[in-house]
Structure 1
Amino acid sequence: MCKCAVKKEEKSRVVTVKNSWRLRALFRIEGLIKEIGQKSRAKRMGICGNTIFVKVKKGDPSNVLYDPQLRCKDRVCPVCNSYRASILSRKVEELGKDMTNPHLLTVTANDQNRSSLKIAFKCYKESIRQLKREKTWWKKYIRGGVEHIEVTYNEGTGWHVHSHMLVDLAVGRKVENMQLTDNGYFLDPLKKDLEHVLLKVGLGTISDIRPVTEGYGKEISKYSMKFGLDIDDDRLKEIIVNMKGKRMVSRFGNCYGRKDIDGTDGENMVTLSPKDEKEYITLGTIKEVVYKCFNETGIDSALVGYALGAVKIGLIKICSADNKLFQDEEVDSS
């Protein structure tokens, strides 16, 4: 084999790390924040996306976090939302373990007040507060739970606000939307009563209730990952302005005040406590971990798994010098 062929073969093995779709989304949002005159906020977000460390829990190599060195904690930061979803998934699973009859519940806003995000969110929060005070259904059937609010936009229908919840259902059976009887499928009586209550408090009657299945923590937390990524610039600016500081995750009933989860509510529900932080070891930045995967002694399969995890959730893409090792794919984080 001639020397030029050998050099070409060696060059193709050079591994490079490039920004993938989540970081590109961060830089897009950073630019929009600058456009509306919030330069210091944009700077914090930019710093957040520049250095992301890989952390692994001691004794549990499957428990991996991709943690920015300095988190901006902004509601619209794609990297912080990825981190929030990872923590929320773990904490929701912990809450579910102590529930007697855990179910997933989805509640939607009605079809009014959808032209303005500010008004739509305010009306939805007020209706949710009324729902949680409702004695004929909520107080009767819900012991407690955790709620994550999702906001989406559709050109035809406007802003859509809805909640994904894990609830502890105070009935002695599993509840589905439809109930099978000897005469066929019928709307479950509990679900039918729920629809009447939702209409009464000003929420949409379209809802969903079902027993939990494996991975219910991820089922709820995945919506954090997508927040504000798939809409146009004008709508995204509306989110940047109107959703700043808004609480998207909360607990209620017998899940509120759980000190083993967090002593307080809100942002702490989606962060690690100082005690939990000590349970993790830092392997280095994502780039450092990728380069350690391919060393002189061979390939480190454990590190390769962590690198591929970063690829899957859109933080990086890995490619060789000829760009053929991995392709940049926008993989759904769920």
Structure 2
Amino acid sequence: MCKCAVKKEKKSRVMTIKNSWRLRALFRIEKYIREIGQDARAKRMGICGNTIFVKVKKGDPSNVLYEPQVRCKDRVCPVCNSYRASILSRKVEELGKNMENPHLLTITANELNRDSLKTAVECFKKSTSLLKKERSWWKRYIRGGVEHIEITYKVGTGWHVHSHMLVDLAVDRKVENMQLRDNGYFLDPLKKDLEHVLLKVGLGTISDIRPVTEGYGKEISKYSMKFGLDIDEARLKEIIVDMKGKRMVSKFGNCYGLKNLDDTNGEGMEGLSPEEEEQYETLGTIKEVVDKCFKETGVDSELVGYALGAIKIGLIEIWSASYEPEPFQSGRIDSS
């Protein structure tokens, strides 16, 4: 038989989408919440992780959000925390644009009260409240800012609480931890005074202050994304119980109560306002977006970029790409 008369069997592309590490972490936390008897809370978190939509700001395709259709808003939800981080990054950058001398400031808790998470957080917040009332340093040098509290745990030392802040520094120069002089590097006088004040209000003297660099919004917001991850079961259950409803992000000084950035309900820095929501269009679920990436007419590179973004932050994995005989239709995507 003539080879040209043989009809080649048509093949179609099949891609499998699987839950990546962030969703697997969500289901792990959901299971622990059920184990401590909070079924309604676990159910809300499960719904939150099941359908995530891709949203793009109108006129700005680089501004992409991956938002659950129904957000549980739980402090330990890995998907909500990813969404919070993306919003917080944008809003911190907006705050920084209005500052005269923006700097990043990190302060830490002292080495006491580290056995109990609840006690560690309460003591840290009391001490930072005293710090913000301190006149000899804080009132003198800080106009305002925004802070994000981070909590970590290390075997042997216990719970470690610290704050990452963007502050508007009320001095007419850039401040680093160390100051270069003619005869070498020395501790900046402003930083040296800060250490004395931190000790006075019951905080740890280990701190960091430096001018902002590009991407400072992400620098602060990235700590939201990893909250409650990479921690053992017992410590995670402690976070689930003790951090429920706790505010981790707040504004102070001349940044408090700014129009469109108000956080009086605890969500202003971690979610979109109704007016901001109108600036975004929804492209569909992650699965639907990936499904549209590959068509018979070619590859939609813009949609591929959104799919890769979901992979980067741990929402999905494109598990395999293979070719199967008909009757599968070209572009079919199986999700699991």
TM-score range, shorter chain: over 0.9
CA distance in 1, matches of 2:81, 2:49: 12
CA distance in 1, matches of 2:130, 2:263: 25
CA distance in 1, matches of 2:34, 2:322: 35
Match of 2:147 in 1: 147
Contact 2:15/2:322 (<8 A) preserved: no
CA distance in 2, matches of 1:29, 1:321: 30
CA distance in 1, matches of 2:210, 2:269: 24
Match of 2:18 in 1: 18
CA distance in 2, matches of 1:185, 1:54: 49
CA distance in 1, matches of 2:109, 2:322: 49
Tell me how many residue pairs correspond in the alignment: 318
Q: CA deviation at 1:321?
A: 4.5
CA distance in 1, matches of 2:45, 2:118: 23
> Where in structure 2 are the equivalents of 1:196-215 lying within 5 Å?
196-215=196-215
TM-score, with normalisation over the residues of structure 1? 0.93
Contact 1:149/1:161 (<8 A) preserved: yes
Q: What letter matches 1:101 in structure 2? A: N
The structure having more radius of gyration, on CA atoms, is 2
Contact 2:251/2:263 (<8 A) preserved: no
Match of 1:165 in 2: 165
Q: What letter matches 2:267 in structure 1? A: E
- Residue 122 of structure 2 aligns to a residue whose secondary structure is helix
Offset from partner CA, 1:209-249 (integer Å, 9 cap, x none): 00000000000000000001010010000000000011100
CA distance in 2, matches of 1:82, 1:200: 36
> Where in structure 2 are the equivalents of 1:102-141 lying within 5 Å?
102-141=102-141
Match of 1:328 in 2: none
Match of 2:334 in 1: none
Contact 1:147/1:250 (<8 A) preserved: yes
CA distance in 2, matches of 1:107, 1:187: 16
1:70 has 2:96 as partner: no
CA distance in 2, matches of 1:256, 1:54: 31
CA distance in 1, matches of 2:269, 2:95: 11
> Where in structure 2 are the equivalents of 1:1-334 lying within 5 Å?
10=11, 13-262=13-262, 264=264, 266-321=266-321
CA distance in 2, matches of 1:266, 1:102: 23
Q: CA deviation at 1:266?
A: 2.2
Match of 2:331 in 1: none
- Residue 269 of structure 1 aligns to a residue whose secondary structure is coil
Q: What letter matches 1:47 in structure 2? A: I
Q: CA deviation at 1:261?
A: 1.9
Q: Which stretch of structure 1 is more off in the superposition, 66-75 or 260-269?
A: 260-269
Match of 2:326 in 1: none
Ranges in structure 1 where 5+ consecutive residues have no aligned partner: 324-334
Offset from partner CA, 1:131-187 (integer Å, 9 cap, x none): 000000000000000000000000021000000000000000000000000010000
- Residue 269 of structure 2 aligns to a residue whose secondary structure is helix
- Residue 72 of structure 2 aligns to a residue whose secondary structure is coil
Relative contact order, higher structure (CA 8 A, sep 6+): 2
Q: What letter matches 1:167 in structure 2? A: V
- Residue 228 of structure 1 aligns to a residue whose secondary structure is coil
Cα 1:263–1:230 change in 2 (3 A) is closer
CA distance in 1, matches of 2:11, 2:144: 59
Offset from partner CA, 1:288-313 (integer Å, 9 cap, x none): 00010001110000000000000000
Contact 1:250/1:265 (<8 A) preserved: no
Cα 1:263–1:78 change in 2 (3 A) is closer
Q: CA deviation at 1:262?
A: 2.8
Offset from partner CA, 1:101-146 (integer Å, 9 cap, x none): 0000000000000000010000000000000000000000000000
TM-score, with normalisation over the residues of structure 2? 0.92
- Residue 267 of structure 2 aligns to a residue whose secondary structure is helix
Identical-pair percentage:
80
- Residue 165 of structure 1 aligns to a residue whose secondary structure is strand
- Residue 268 of structure 1 aligns to a residue whose secondary structure is coil
Contact 1:251/1:265 (<8 A) preserved: no
Q: What letter matches 1:10 in structure 2? A: K
Contact 2:256/2:262 (<8 A) preserved: no
CA distance in 1, matches of 2:256, 2:272: 17
Q: What letter matches 2:126 in structure 1? A: E
Q: What letter matches 2:196 in structure 1? A: H
Contact 2:263/2:269 (<8 A) preserved: no
- Residue 199 of structure 2 aligns to a residue whose secondary structure is helix
- Residue 121 of structure 1 aligns to a residue whose secondary structure is helix
